[in-house]
């Protein structure tokens, strides 16, 4: 039985073009894995038995656009009906230095499977739905077992990024306990991860934290020593666990940076962490904001304090901070519900109203408006335009100095 995604027009067009040119192709990796689990599939990758130049010629003849994304590694991207597909020629890793592989092409599917990382990432599917499973990936997938293909130490020596991939895939697909030999190999090799690039670590780490079982993975990353170098600030997973519950309760999408903040100490040095993990300036600033404890959130203050914070801090920031607040800080459920239900009003008076009272333009007008605004917030936004105008006039007449 073939699934619906294989019937999609762009997929069928691609398959027809390949078959027409005598290229044998199988779906591989994430799409087969996720399909077998009944999860929505992401990108579609295919393995092909023909060298990349030939694949390009065949597809172009059939009228498809092809981009030579990684010819040396056998990868081309085909675009059918505006949809991209990655096609990689069957290959064997000839030589690896722990980061980059020199590859040779092959026509042996099993050899191609053997160079992949985990058993359930080496599942192939033919166009008729036939599955090829060379390393018991299907049973591992059903059991939630993330297992290296072959000797874990050797596979990690070939590419140490696989340690991080192990924890990421466990967080998304695994069930406790961790596969013993795989986990111990990760522990033995944790020190070697120092040499990875910050970008790659950040990508893996954030995707791991976004996963349903991200908290267990974070603890394991810490326990095996992976975080010693990359995140020595690790503050445990308790807040991350709470965060997950709150996100689910409030229907808020998981967010990698927010989840990162949840495993860091409040007030942590976002700039340093951002440098290490190659966060963008914008992301570092957001992380700093997530870790900061000022201005106070006032979660214990109930709806009036929440409305004030929502007005002053904006919904996104408010929600982030409520999601991350300590359990004892107050009624996070109520605060999140309020954030959804209530839209901050606009201050009912403006500079024009102040000028209409005869005030001269200048900084004093701004200060006066700020004072009225603070009064209006203190009154829980109850004052309408008339009351605000009256307050503005009263304060203008009193020549009040700003608070
Ligand atoms: P997702 O795209 O959801 O992260 P995926 O399995 O498609 O999952 P990719 O990183 O897109 O993951 O890689 C596609 C396939 O390539 C994997 O399923 C795996 O078979 C192989 N692969 C990717 N990276 C590595 C690696 N570092 N070592 C060995 N095999 C790898
Ligand atoms: Mg993929």
pLDDT at position 180, please? Answer: 97
Using left for φ > 0, alpha for ψ between -120 and 50, and beta otherwise, residue 88 falls in beta
Q: Ligand 2: distance of its center to the CA of 240 in Å? A: 26
Phi/psi of residue 10, nearest 5 degrees: -60, -35
Bridge partners (DSSP) listed for residue 45: 28, 86
**Are 122 and 16 members of one domain?**
yes
CATH number at residue 266: 1.10.3090.10
d(CA 80, CA 95): 34
Q: Ligand 2: distance of its center to the CA of 325 in Å? A: 34
* Ligand located closest to 207 CA: 1
**Are 275 and 377 members of one domain?**
no
Domain count, the chain: 4
- For a substitution probing ligand 1, which of 117, 135, 163, 167 has the most ligand atoms within 8 Å of its CB? 117
Q: Ligand 1: distance of its center to the CA of 342 in Å? A: 43
d(CA 75, CA 376): 62
326-348 pLDDT tens trace? 888 899 999 999 999 999 999 99
d(CA 33, CA 302): 46
**Are 234 and 274 members of one domain?**
yes
pLDDT at position 401, please? Answer: 52
204-240 pLDDT tens trace? 999 999 999 999 999 999 999 999 999 999 999 999 9
Tell me whether residue 393 is in a domain. yes
Q: Which residues line ligand 1 (CB under 6 A)?
A: 29-30, 42-43, 45, 116-117, 121-122, 159, 161-162, 165
d(CA 327, CA 239): 9
Q: Which domain holds residue 195?
A: 151-293
Q: Ligand 2: distance of its center to the CA of 92 in Å? A: 19
Q: Ligand 2: distance of its center to the CA of 203 in Å? A: 14
pLDDT at position 33, please? Answer: 98
**Are 302 and 285 members of one domain?**
no
Arithmetic mean of pLDDT over the chain: 95
Residues less than 5 Å from ion ligand 2, measured at CB: 30, 43
Tokens of 220: 């394991």
CATH number at residue 95: 3.30.460.10
Tell me whether residue 403 is in a domain. no
Query: In 3D, which of 154, 155, 84, 63 has the Cα closest to residue 118?
Result: 155
Tell me whether residue 387 is in a domain. yes
Residue nearest to ligand 1 atom 17, measured at CA:
29
Tell me whether residue 274 is in a domain. yes
Residue nearest to ligand 1 atom 15, measured at CA:
29
d(CA 309, CA 304): 9
d(CA 305, CA 100): 54
Considering the entire predicted model, what is its pTM? Answer: 0.91
Of 143, 177, 196, the position where a domain reaches its end is: 143
Tokens of 22: 């005598």
- For a substitution probing ligand 1, which of 28, 41, 121 has the most ligand atoms within 8 Å of its CB? 121
Q: What is the DSSP letter of 235?
A: -
DSSP 44-110: -EEEESS-HHHHHHHHHHTT-EEEEEEGGGTEEEEEETTEEEEEEE-EEEEEE-BS-EEEEE-S-HH
Residue 294 pLDDT level (bands cut at 50, 70, 90)? confident
Tell me whether residue 346 is in a domain. no
pLDDT at position 103, please? Answer: 82
For the segment 180-196, the average pLDDT, to the nearest whole number, is 97
**Are 139 and 10 members of one domain?**
yes
For the segment 256-278, the average pLDDT, to the nearest whole number, is 96
Residue nearest to ligand 1 atom 26, measured at CA:
117
Residue 403 pLDDT level (bands cut at 50, 70, 90)? very low
Tell me whether residue 192 is in a domain. yes
Residue 99 pLDDT exceeds 80: no
**Are 328 and 355 members of one domain?**
no
Residue 402 pLDDT exceeds 50: no
Residues above pLDDT 70, as percent of the chain: 98
* Ligand located closest to 28 CA: 1
Residue 275 pLDDT exceeds 90: yes
pLDDT at position 297, please? Answer: 86
Residue nearest to ligand 1 atom 5, measured at CA:
30
Residue 52 pLDDT exceeds 70: yes
d(CA 141, CA 123): 10
**Are 301 and 279 members of one domain?**
no
pLDDT at position 100, please? Answer: 66
Q: Ligand 1: distance of its center to the CA of 30 in Å? A: 7
28-47 pLDDT tens trace? 999 999 999 999 999 999 99
* Ligand located closest to 137 CA: 1
**Are 175 and 252 members of one domain?**
yes
- For a substitution probing ligand 1, which of 87, 112, 116 has the most ligand atoms within 8 Å of its CB? 116
Residue 200 pLDDT exceeds 50: yes
**Are 382 and 280 members of one domain?**
no
**Are 81 and 213 members of one domain?**
no
Residue 19 pLDDT level (bands cut at 50, 70, 90)? very high
**Are 277 and 312 members of one domain?**
no
Q: Ligand 2: distance of its center to the CA of 279 in Å? A: 22
Q: Ligand 1: distance of its center to the CA of 116 in Å? A: 7
Of 118, 143, 168, the position where a domain reaches its end is: 143
**Are 113 and 11 members of one domain?**
yes
Residue pair 164/172 in contact by the 8 Å Cβ criterion: no
Specify the 3-state DSSP secondary structure of 372.
helix
Tell me whether residue 227 is in a domain. yes
Bridge partners (DSSP) listed for residue 96: 101
Query: In 3D, which of 17, 8, 94, 78 has the Cα closest to residue 45?
Result: 78
Tell me whether residue 174 is in a domain. yes
For the segment 231-260, the average pLDDT, to the nearest whole number, is 96
Residue nearest to ligand 1 atom 3, measured at CA:
30
- For a substitution probing ligand 1, which of 5, 26, 29, 174 has the most ligand atoms within 8 Å of its CB? 29
Residue 249 pLDDT exceeds 80: yes
Of 276, 293, 310, the position where a domain reaches its end is: 293
Q: Ligand 2: distance of its center to the CA of 173 in Å? A: 14
122-165 pLDDT tens trace? 999 999 999 999 999 999 999 999 999 999 999 999 999 999 99
Residue 98 pLDDT level (bands cut at 50, 70, 90)? low
């Amino acid at each position: 039985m073939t699934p619906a995604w294989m019937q999609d027009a762009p997929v069928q067009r691609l398959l027809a073009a390949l078959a027409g040119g005598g290229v044998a192709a199988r779906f591989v990796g994430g799409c087969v894995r996720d399909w077998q689990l009944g999860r929505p599939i992401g990108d579609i990758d295919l393995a092909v038995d023909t060298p990349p130049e030939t694949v390009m010629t065949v597809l172009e003849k059939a009228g498809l656009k092809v981009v030579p994304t990684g010819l040396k590694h056998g990868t081309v991207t085909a675009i059918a009906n505006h949809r991209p597909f990655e096609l990689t020629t069957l290959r064997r890793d000839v030589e690896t230095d722990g980061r980059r592989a020199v590859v040779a092409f092959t026509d042996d599917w099993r050899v191609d499977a053997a160079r992949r990382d985990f058993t359930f990432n080496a599942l192939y599917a033919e166009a008729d739905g036939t599955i090829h499973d060379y390393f018991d990936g299907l049973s591992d997938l059903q059991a939630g077992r993330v297992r290296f293909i072959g000797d874990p130490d050797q596979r990690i020596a070939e590419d140490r990024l696989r340690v991080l991939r192990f924890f990421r895939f466990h967080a998304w697909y695994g069930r406790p306990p961790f596969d013993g030999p795989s986990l111990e190999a990760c522990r033995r090799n944790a020190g070697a991860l120092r040499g990875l690039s910050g970008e790659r670590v950040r990508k893996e780490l954030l995707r791991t934290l976004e996963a349903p079982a991200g908290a267990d993975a974070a603890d394991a990353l810490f326990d095996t020593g992976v975080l010693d170098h990359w995140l020595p600030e690790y503050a445990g997973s308790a807040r991350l666990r709470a965060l997950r519950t709150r996100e689910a309760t409030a229907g808020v999408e998981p967010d990698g940076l927010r989840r990162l903040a949840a495993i860091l100490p409040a007030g942590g040095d976002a700039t340093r962490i951002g440098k290490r993990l190659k966060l963008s300036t914008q992301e570092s600033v957001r992380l700093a904001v997530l870790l900061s404890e000022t201005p106070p959130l006032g979660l214990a203050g109930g709806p009036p304090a929440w409305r004030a914070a929502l007005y002053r801090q904006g919904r996104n920031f408010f929600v982030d901070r409520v999601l991350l607040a300590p359990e004892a800080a107050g009624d996070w459920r109520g605060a999140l519900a309020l954030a959804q239900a209530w839209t901050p009003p606009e201050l009912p008076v403006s500079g024009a109203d102040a000028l209409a009272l005869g005030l001269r333009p200048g900084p004093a007008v701004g200060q006066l408006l700020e004072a009225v605004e603070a009064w209006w917030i203190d009154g829980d936004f109850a004052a309408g335009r008339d009351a605000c105008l009256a307050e503005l006039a009263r304060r203008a007449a009193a020549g009040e100095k700003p608070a």
